[in-house]
């Protein structure tokens, strides 16, 4: 079998999304737990890929689903397109998570007569690693730098963001921003013990901005 690549991952995600949207699932009827739905879809897509490609499977040690491709898979409801991910450092909010995201966004519809559920995949989006930084943080930092903001402006801005950093860490991140301005991210990352990722910006600009691919979009 061929080795899985990012290109084939995205191609198969589009094929899978279209097929899944036409497939009734008895085991999901009446299920309201989004985590259970996400686990079901992640497992099904992984099994689909395993029948066609060679790839390294993720583990708790690697923390992501496709470590050799540096890609993590996320499944979320259109009602609140968000998920959590492990916190590694406050720097991720400015420079991205360090890996790419393949995001399936579904709308679950139960058929009470047939006692089945259908996961209509509305969007499948691939967000390249360098675009996984926080949308408002990178937007505002870029605005400061483009308007001749100095180090004090950047430090003050980062201090106001309540990032989980001490003063030494804030100074280090400020110096990095001054020497290596961040590019625009398209994920909204909320501070928590785990990062809380929100995908509305990425869904809305998929296919129109570099680094955010519109892998699959349900026809209207």
Query: Could you report the per-residue pLDDT of 153-177, keeping only the tens digit for each?
Result: 999 999 999 888 999 999 999 999 9
pLDDT tens sequence across 24-62: 999 999 999 999 999 999 999 999 999 999 999 886 666
d(CA 189, CA 84): 9
Whether 89 is covered by a domain: the verdict is no
110 Rama sector, left if φ>0, alpha if ψ -120 to 50, beta otherwise: beta
The pLDDT value recorded for residue 127 is 98
Same domain, yes or no, for 105 and 166? no
| CA nearest neighbour of 201 among 141, 122, 132, 119 | 132
Q: Which domain holds residue 31?
A: 6-80+98-130+200-217
On average, the pLDDT of the chain sits at: 94
Greatest Cα pair distance in the chain = 64
Name the pTM for this structure: 0.94
- Residue for token digits 């909204």? 188
pLDDT tens sequence across 53-102: 999 988 666 689 999 999 999 999 999 999 999 889 999 999 999 999 99
Beta bridge pairs of residue 108: 119
Q: Is 188 exposed, middle or buried (0-12, 13-18, 19+ CB in 10 A)?
A: middle
Same domain, yes or no, for 205 and 102? yes
The total of structural domains in the chain comes to 2
Cβ atoms of residues 36 and 29 within 8 Å? no
d(CA 207, CA 203): 9
Same domain, yes or no, for 143 and 123? no
Same domain, yes or no, for 107 and 54? yes
Whether 126 is covered by a domain: the verdict is yes
Same domain, yes or no, for 151 and 114? no
Whether 38 is covered by a domain: the verdict is yes
CATH number of the domain where residue 17 is located: 3.40.210
pLDDT tens sequence across 107-116: 999 999 999 9
The pLDDT value recorded for residue 194 is 81
């Amino acid at each position: 079998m061929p080795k899985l690549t990012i290109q084939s991952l995205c191609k198969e995600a589009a094929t899978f999304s279209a097929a899944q949207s036409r497939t009734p699932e008895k085991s999901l009827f009446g299920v309201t737990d989004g985590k259970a739905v996400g686990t079901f879809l992640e497992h099904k897509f992984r099994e689909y890929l395993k029948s066609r490609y060679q790839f390294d499977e993720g583990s708790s040690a690697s923390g992501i689903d496709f470590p050799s491709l540096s890609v993590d898979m996320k499944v979320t409801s259109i009602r609140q397109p968000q998920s959590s991910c492990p916190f590694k450092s406050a720097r991720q909010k400015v420079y991205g998570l360090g890996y790419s995201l393949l995001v399936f966004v579904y709308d679950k519809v139960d058929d009470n007569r047939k006692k089945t559920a259908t996961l209509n995949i509305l969007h499948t989006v691939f967000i390249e690693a360098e675009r996984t930084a926080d949308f408002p943080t990178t937007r505002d930092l870029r605005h400061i730098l483009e308007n001749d903001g100095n180090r004090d402006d950047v430090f003050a801005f980062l201090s106001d963001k309540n990032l989980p950093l001490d003063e030494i860490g804030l100074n280090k991140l400020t110096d990095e921003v001054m020497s290596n301005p961040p590019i625009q991210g398209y994920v909204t990352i909320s501070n928590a013990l785990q990062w809380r990722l929100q995908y509305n910006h990425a869904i809305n600009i998929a296919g129109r901005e570099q680094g955010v691919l519109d892998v699959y979009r349900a026809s209207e």
